[in-house]
Structure 1
Amino acid sequence: MTDLPALLVAAPLVGSVVVMLAGLVRSESGWPVAAVASLVQTGIAAALAVRAFGPDPVRYVVGGFDAPFGIELVVDGVSATMAVLVAVVALGVLGYARAAGPRSNAFYATYLLLVAGLSGMSVTGDVFNMYVFLEITGLAAYALVASGEGGRSARAALKYLLVGTIGASLFLLGIGFAYVATGTLNMADLSTQLAAVGYASPLVQASFGLLVVGLFVKIAVFPVHTWQPAAYAGAPDSVSALISALVSTIAAYALIRLVFTVFTVDFLLTNAFAQTVLIAGAIVSIVVGSVLAVAQQEVKRMLAYSSVSQFGLVVGAIAVANGTALTGAVIHLVGHAIMKGGLFLTSGLVASATGARTVDDYRGLAERFSAGAAVFGVLALAMVGVPPAIGFVGKWYIALGAVEAGSWPLAVVILGSTLLTLAYFARIIERMFFREPATDTTTDTPLVTDGEGSEAGGSDADPSVVSVGMQTTVLLAAVLAIVLGVAAFEYGQLLEPTIERLLA
């Protein structure tokens, strides 16, 4: 037994405490400590991934108490992927935040606490521990959203807190129903006990429904998505990138883990209604999220509604419940984290350099800030699904899985989602590359409201903030979106043993 799973969670937790203590000596001294903690965690995640893609998952029992009585950490190919994703994205966003801010020790401590919660959710093998880490993640995310200046961030954080608390409460109730039915909380043991109780049991069905709806809130599936646009748009750019890339992504991973590790495919086969609800939620999220994205003027809100649509694809893959679709779901989660995080960081970079924050502000951006326009264009086309970007590979696997399962309505919507995604990104691409810049885009940009009474526009340009680290981070995101797409099919083959175990 290796201690690496425990160290994966402990590294950012210890870093968070050290950052707070360092703040007592010197304010704004937290970035170096946070960077070291993130580097250490990235190394641990990489070492875990090497072991987890072997024939058996990596297991660790906290306190030496054997499962199912002890708290177990389990790392297989999927959870190792999520652990590496959390570590790499957190490290990248941290590099961006050094110049972009926020820079207080409290911010970096909370940042590392969020990373610890996400890492714990990735590797836990206990449903109650998953709830604990979900709450840690939520509390840290609320605080980070509120770290922006002005009332907009505070209102967004409050909305996020209220809606997120409802989701977490439903999740906890679902765990309670499962415990009443089985008397255990270990995921592997739960799977066995739930099968013994019977998938037609009202307790089991109620547990599944509550757990799924609770995670739907955290993932931001329509219509329980309302916290997401406000949180993404109201938070500082660094925070928007981090939570858009990771928070809903790990919640979607948790849904995969619960559906296939705890309830198993047999539950979906026994309860056709549950599968129908998942498919319906996926289709509605894909379509409505895209339509709402098209209607937005503020870039960050457009990207937020885009995430509602993109996570609908993942829910659809879970509902299809075959190996091809599930492989596509994992690839899509990785791709979405890189691409959407990169888009939020690039939008922040563009805003710092030019003051542009609305779709119309991006007029002539290729002339005013060619590097920002190029990176945004590459990441936008990757999100649309243009080969060879990773956005194409994930959608391809999910659509193919839907066809294999005979779920034709979902397959048609998935294929149509490419055109829907193109509809809102084409507006920006056209303005960036085929329009002349406005006479004065920095100081005279008209302000628009974000739908909540706040103003957003091109009045916050500060080119002095733009650093080499910020530009390097967004460039790496664009490069990764292409490189990972080229390697994704080989990764899908590497993932096959883990997917087979999940579906067994």
Structure 2
Amino acid sequence: MSSLVEMLPALLVAVPILLAAVPIVLGLRFERTGWSVAALTTTALTAATVYLAAAVYETGRVVHVLGGWGETEDRPQGVGIELVADEFSVLIALLVTVTAAGVLAYTRVGGPRGNTFYTGYLLLIGGLLGLSLTGDVFNMFVFLEIVGLATYAMIAAGDGPESAVAALKYLILGTMGASLYLIGVGFLFMATGALNMQVLGEAIPLVAEEGGSDLTLLRAAFAFIFIGFALKVAQWPLHTWQPDAYQHAPDGVTPVIAALVSTVSAYALGRIMYNVFGPEFLTATPYLTEIVVTVGCVSVLAGSTLAVIQRDVKRMFAYSSVAQFGLIVAAYGLVTQTAFVGAVIHLIGHGVIKAGLFVAAGIVALGYGARTVDEYAGLAEHRPFTAGSIAILLIALIGIPPSAGFIGKWYIAVGAVEAEVWPVAVVIFLSTMLTLAYSARLLEKMYFTPATPVESPHPPGRVAADGGTDTGADTEHDGATALDRDSIRRGSPDAVSVGMLGILVVIAVSAVLLGFAGGAFFEWLEPFTSEVFTE
């Protein structure tokens, strides 16, 4: 293995964190250089992650020990802090880098545009990559805090006091979640004397076999870690920060937060459950898997039900995320190989789908100020490409084949049958029906409800950028009503760029293509799952 490949995990984490200072420094002399710095950085990170993924596929896991503190005769394994790129972590790293680069197609025009925003953007990407690649449970806490701090600042970048309140709520609850996780790490260290994930994975079965007070510490550690991540992943009833954060964050921020922040936290939970504690501990501990499955299933039903009654589109998608992450948590609790692969597929697919839906919501809001379901009336006539992409993404979210949403749910349902936990399969069916309910509302508005000045700020006019008709600035002089003029001020068709539409269409197509990749995911994850589920 080449030295470059061994260095890549460290470079993926260090480069965006170090370059986060560049937009601020350049901002002392130049205005709005942050986007260019972020675009170059995320493009390079994407290329590097693809190269690392190819290396992992050919040679297996890549481990980088920071500071050269690897295993020696005088120093046991796990003393140094490790970054690990394996079949599981590199998938999440790919999602992070590709999404980070793609969303910039929206922020170039749609904003935020300040240099300080892109400093936070790069810091967030570095933290997410660190969280994805770390092989140390305490180092995971460090990256959780980096991600949290950057996310708080980016949510607060929105206009109005609502953004500040949403960021404060996330700050308080996010800090509580990270603190609970850290307490759990402390109990782990007390029971095993280790922080390295691989060392913990070898030590925990021995401690559990001996029993006694150390086994009690392990169970307490899992409880604190699970509750901490339940906050981070927005599981009901610990989800209250997420709808406000998604709704009131700037439209250029929400796709990144929705697609990556909770997604990487859900990945971290899976990593801790399967690499650190292991399937044997999970199944041997009384009521543990039942509790995990119950928390996930309740979140699925609660999130889907709350999404049905929302009027604001971003808030509806936020509650949908509560449900989708609940399904992933429930899949973790099934402790079968099929359910685990289904959880990973659903994790990746949901990240792609939600990135596209929130980019679309930003385009619609930027184009003509529509933010509620009623204001989407007539969208298909005036924004055919945007409406078509939203329709494809909603179909994928429902889980209609072929789509990423279907293949993930299918494998989780099969895993539930294998584990003989039939209620999970029933919950998947009910959540699909509820998802169909709120998706159908939006589809009906876009395709079957005529646009009126009361419902939608896009009366007929000139040809719009994506192929339909829309109102231009001259409409006000052609006898438009006061309501029409107010709508025109709230959104401008000219503000939607070709790049925005292009990235939206690419995401929609990707959500469909991922539906054909179930076998590829199984093959890719086979080295990881065979090691985890046979030990």
Is the pair's TM-score, using the shorter chain for normalization, greater than 0.5? yes
Q: Hey, what's the Cα distance between the residues in 1 that align with 2:417 and 2:27? A: 55
Shift of 1:120: 0.3
The one-letter code sitting in structure 1 at the alignment partner of 2:429 is: L
Does the CA contact (< 8 Å) of 2:124 and 2:151 recur in 1?
yes
Which of 1 and 2 has greater Rg?
2
In structure 2, distance between residues paired with 1:427 and 1:501? 45
Q: Give 5+ residue unaligned stretches, structure 2.
A: 71-76, 460-485
Deviation at 1:55, TM superposition (A): 5.2
Do 2:359 and 2:504's aligned partners in 1 also have CA atoms closer than 8 Å? yes
CA contact (8 A) 1:399 1:415 kept: no
Q: 1:431 aligns with which of 429, 445, 449?
A: 445
Cα distance per residue 1:90-149 (max 9 Å; x no partner): 001112111000001100010000000000011100000000001000000000000111
The aligned amino acid for 2:99 is V
Q: Distance in 2 between matches of 1:330 and 1:139?
A: 26
Structure 2 CA distance for aligned equivalents of residues 56 and 490 of structure 1: 16
Amino acid at match of 2:387: A
For the residues of structure 2 that align with 1:53 and 1:173, how far apart are their CA atoms? 36
Deviation at 1:257, TM superposition (A): 0.3
Aligned to 1:344: 358
Pairing 1:247-396 to 2, within 5 Å after superposition:
247-396=261-410
Q: Report how far residue 460 of structure 1 moved.
A: 2.6
Deviation per CA, 1:247-299, whole angstroms, max 9, x where unpaired?
00000000010000000001111113111110110110010000000010000
Indicate conservation of the 8 Å contact 1:393/1:489, yes or no: no
Partner of residue 9 from structure 2, selected from 5, 12, 15? 5
CA shift, 1:399, in A, is: 0.6
Helix, strand or coil: the match of 1:351?
helix
Q: What residue number does 2:457 align with?
A: 442
Q: Secondary structure at the match of 1:222?
A: coil
The equivalent of 2:526 in structure 1 is: 496
2:189 alignment counterpart? 179
User: What's the CA shift for 1:26?
Assistant: 1.2
Displacement of 1:487 = 2.5
**Counterpart in the other structure of 2:68:** 64
Deviations 1:425-447 (A, max 9, x none): 11000111111111352289xxx
Correspondence for 2:159: 149
Q: Which residue identity lines up with residue 111 of structure 1 in the other structure?
A: Y
Map 1:419-498 to 2 at 5 A: 419-439=433-453, 441-442=456-457, 460-498=490-528
The one-letter code matched in structure 2 to 1:16 is A
CA distance in 2, matches of 1:181, 1:384: 43
1:246 deviation in Å? 0.2
Pick from 43, 62, 67 the counterpart of residue 39 of structure 1: 43
- 8 Å Cα contact 2:451-2:458 kept in structure 1: no
Structure 1 residue 464 displacement after superposition? 2.6
Question: 1:289 touches 1:309 (CA, 8 Å); kept in 2?
Answer: yes
Match of 2:80, as an amino acid? G
- The answer to whether the 8 A contact 1:11-1:40 is kept is no
CA RMSD, Structure 1 to Structure 2 (Å): 1.5
CA positional deviation for 1:15 = 2.1
One-letter amino acid of the structure 1 residue matched with residue 53 of structure 2: A
Tell me, yes or no, if the aligned pair for 1:385 and 1:395 is still in contact at 8 Å.
Answer: yes
1:136-285 paired onto structure 2 within 5 Å? 136-198=146-208, 201-285=215-299
Partner AA of 1:377 in structure 2: A
1:403-422 alignment, distance < 5 Å:
403-422=417-436
CA distance in 1, matches of 2:453, 2:91: 47
Q: Deviations over 1:145-201 (max 9, x none)?
A: 001111111111011101101001101101111111111100111122222221751
Render the CA deviation track for 1:50-104: whole Å, top value 9, x for unaligned.
1222453111100111131000111111100000100000001112111000001
Alpha-carbon separation, structure 2, partners of 1:290 and 1:17: 40
Displacement of 1:392 after TM fit?
0.6
Amino acid at match of 2:529: I
**Correspondence for 1:120 among 124, 130, 135:** 130
Distance 1:267 1:198 in 2: 7
Pick which of 457-466 and 252-261 moved more: 457-466
Instruction: Report how far residue 27 of structure 1 moved.
Output: 2.4
Amino acid corresponding to residue 463 of structure 1 in structure 2: P
Secondary structure of the structure 2 residue equivalent to 1:3 = helix
Structure 1: where are the runs of 5+ without partners?
Answer: 445-456
Query: Which string of whole-angstrom CA distances, capped at 9 and with x for unpartnered residues, describes residues 415-474 of structure 1?
Result: 222111111111000111111111352289xxxxxxxxxxxx967312232111111111
Please state how far the C-alpha of 1:502 moved relative to its aligned partner. 2.5
CA distance in structure 2 between the partners assigned to 1:55 and 1:178 by the alignment: 31
Instruction: Measure the CA separation in 2 of the matches of 1:93 and 1:271.
Output: 42
- The answer as to 2:111 corresponding to 1:75 is no
Structure 1 residue identity aligned to 2:126: A
Percent of paired sites with the same residue: 48
- The CA distance in 1 between the partners of 2:510 and 2:343, in whole Å, is 18
d(CA) in 2 for partners of 1:276, 1:488: 27
